[in-house]
Each structure stands twice: as structure tokens, then as C-alpha cells.
Structure 1
Amino acid sequence: MEVIQVVGYKNSGKTTLSTKLIDFLTAKGIRVGSLKHHGHGGQPIGIESTDSEKHRRAGSVIAGVEGGGVLQLSNRNEWDVEQVVDLYRYFGVECLVVEGYKSYSYKKIVLIRHTDDLHVLDQVDNIIAVVSTIPLSGSGFSFPIYNREKVDELMEWIYLEWVSLAREEC
């Protein structure tokens, strides 16, 4: 399974790019999964008053609720990203698009909106591409840089360079 992270600061376009990538790869016949980091601290809104959360607080190691095609799981401890990735692998996902989790070492697409955002390039590893609204050409980077208006080219490159190759290896 190929894991591709989309990282950047708040309102940099992570969800927009992730959605486009998921749509593009799905149209290519790839089984795509997605994982979004709730980077606002604490639990996502609404989970605290559910029955499954009451089960978790009572001592259940993992608690879940399913209905209408939605499976919501909560763990007694913080989820380790590797555990979550393994869950996606279990469900036969070929490519997992992860939004956020900057500190993990999966292949990353970094979004740059302003010059103030450039320092993120020094804070993360395993960058495979950058999508930027500001000119970065001639900067000597070892990864391709795409203008936000040309993300279709990025989608094709990701499919050809990373996802289809990983699919062939399986």
C-alpha cells in the first residue's frame, strides 16, 4: 500500500488537494483510503457523548459504532498512526491519502501558500513534491514544484511515479 501525505499550514488547500487526489486515483481504478489528522487538539466534535465513547471510558480497549456504512472506532489510548495504517491495509486499500501528521515519514506533498510557509520544507522529511502559489523555480530543490493551477500534472505524476508502480509490485 502506498501512503501519500498532504501537509501544509491551516487553509493552505490540504483538503482540496487531498479530495482531488482521491477523486483522480479512484477514477484510475485505485482503491483509495483517506485519513485526516484532527489537528485542533482533543477528540473530533460530537464523539464525547456517544454510547461507544461511554463504553471506551468504562474500560473497553477499543469501542466502535457502525451504521449506514460508517464505522467509527475509538481507542482507549491515542491511536498510533502505524496502527491506523494497518487498519487501512486490512481493508485492501492500495493508496492511503493522509492529510496532516507532518512528523511521520511517509511520502509528502507539501503545500506552500506564502513565503512565511517556506520553513515547513526544513521541518518535514520525505518530500516528493511541492504545490505552491508563490514562484519557487530555480530554488535548487530536489523535488518537483507544481503551481496550484497545474495540479492535474501533479496527479498524473503521482499516479505514474508512485501509485501504479506500487500496485505492480503487489
Structure 2
Amino acid sequence: MGKHCAVIQIIGHQNAGKTTLLEKLIKRAEENRHQVGTIKHHGHGGIPDHRFQVKDSDRHSKAGAVLAGVEGDGVLLLSLAGQHWPLAKLVEIYQSLSIDTIFIEGYKKEHFPKVVLLKEESDLSLLKLSSIICVISWFDIHSLNIHVPIFHIEDEQNYIDYIIGSVRGQHESGIF
């Protein structure tokens, strides 16, 4: 297997700002001289096509990711096809390519450290997921009993610093 890398998932419902947040994280990680790879879950069902690849994964590449892929229905758009691509296997493939940091968009039920984006109150069910390291919300949720840092969507500098700090912590500790 390749060298150790940090792994962070970005979770949220459609149009919550996941890809935009990933672009910002990729740029910051690149400024810190990280080789970033991204994995996008094709949550729309079926095999992703090249139009979808351009929509989100191309944004990841333009932000500075050296490797960007989208997986759906057993097809990873890196032109690798198989019966099924579990996230753990995708992380292993990326690690073998000497990526420093992997940002994952989607895969809500996996157990990597997660940043949860909440755009609407109906998104609060996402707080039941495992491995949450922080929450970024479009509305005030400070009255909820949440035991991780909470940031407002407009508090960009602080949540970017926090997430990149978590990446740095994973590198230093050797976790994931």
C-alpha cells in the first residue's frame, strides 16, 4: 500500500454546498503542499457518465486535486470497472497513488471522519451518522445538544481552518 494519507468525508443533501466546500478545502490543502485526491459518490443512481464527471469532479480537479474520481453502481470514472467499489477499496487505491489527503463527497453511511452540512431543518437527521467531526449549518442549531464544533456557513475561515487542522492531525497521528 502507498503512504499514509488523511481522509475526510463531506456529507450533506443535494445543494447543501458540498462541492463548493471541497473546492475551498482542496485549494487550502494544496497551499499546504498536499497532494489531494477526491472521491465523489454518484448519489443519483446508476453508472456516472462523463457529463456528471465534468460537473463535480472537474471542479475538484480545477481546484487543485491531482486525482478526482466519481463512483456509481460499480463503475469508478477513472476508467476502472468492477462489480462493486466499496469506499474502503477506493481509499486503498488512492493511497497506493501516493495521495496525501483524500476528500470524499458523499458515502453517508461510511465511517471516516465526517463534516456534515445542514442547509434545512429537514437535514437534521444527518446528525445521527457516525464519525462526525464538525457541523456547518445554514441556520442556527446551537440550541441542539451536539458534541462537536458547530459553524455557521458564513464562518468560512474558521471551519476551513478547523477541517485542515483535522487533516494535519491525521497526518501527525497516522490515523487512516
Q: Does 1:25 align with 2:29?
A: yes
Alpha carbons of structure 1 residues 17 and 46: separation in structure 2 relative to 1, 3 Å: closer
Aligned counterpart in structure 2 of residue 101 of structure 1, from 82, 98, 107: 107
* Distance (whole Å) between structure 1 residues aligned to residue 161 and residue 138 of structure 2: 19
* Distance (whole Å) between structure 2 residues aligned to residue 76 and residue 24 of structure 1: 33
Q: Does 1:6 align with 2:4?
A: no
Aligned counterpart in structure 2 of residue 127 of structure 1, from 123, 132, 140: 132
* Distance (whole Å) between structure 2 residues aligned to residue 131 and residue 169 of structure 1: 25
Return the offset for 1:167: 2.4
Amino acid at match of 1:78: H
The answer for unaligned runs of 5 or more in structure 2 is 52-74
In structure 2, the residue matched to 1:164 is: 168
Amino acid at match of 1:11: N
After superposition, give the CA deviation of every residue in 1:61-118 in whole Å (9 maximum; x if it has no partner).
xx99xxxxxx822323011111110111011112100000001000000000111111
* Distance (whole Å) between structure 1 residues aligned to residue 46 and residue 81 of structure 2: 13
Amino acid at match of 1:73: S
Q: Highest Rg: 1 or 2?
A: 1
Q: Does 1:35 align with 2:43?
A: no
Amino acid at match of 1:156: D
Return the TM-score normalized by structure 1.
0.80
* Distance (whole Å) between structure 1 residues aligned to residue 158 and residue 111 of structure 2: 24
Return the offset for 1:8: 0.6
Amino acid at match of 1:143: V
Report if aligned partners of 2:117, 2:137 keep a CA contact under 8 Å in 1: yes
After superposition, give the CA deviation of every residue in 1:97-148 in whole Å (9 maximum; x if it has no partner).
00000010000000001111111112x1100011101101132211001111
Identity %: 32
Residue aligned with 1:130, SS: strand
Report if aligned partners of 2:12, 2:118 keep a CA contact under 8 Å in 1: yes
CA RMSD of aligned residues (A): 2.0
The answer for unaligned runs of 5 or more in structure 1 is 48-62, 65-70
Q: Does 1:85 align with 2:91?
A: yes
* Distance (whole Å) between structure 1 residues aligned to residue 130 and residue 120 of structure 2: 20
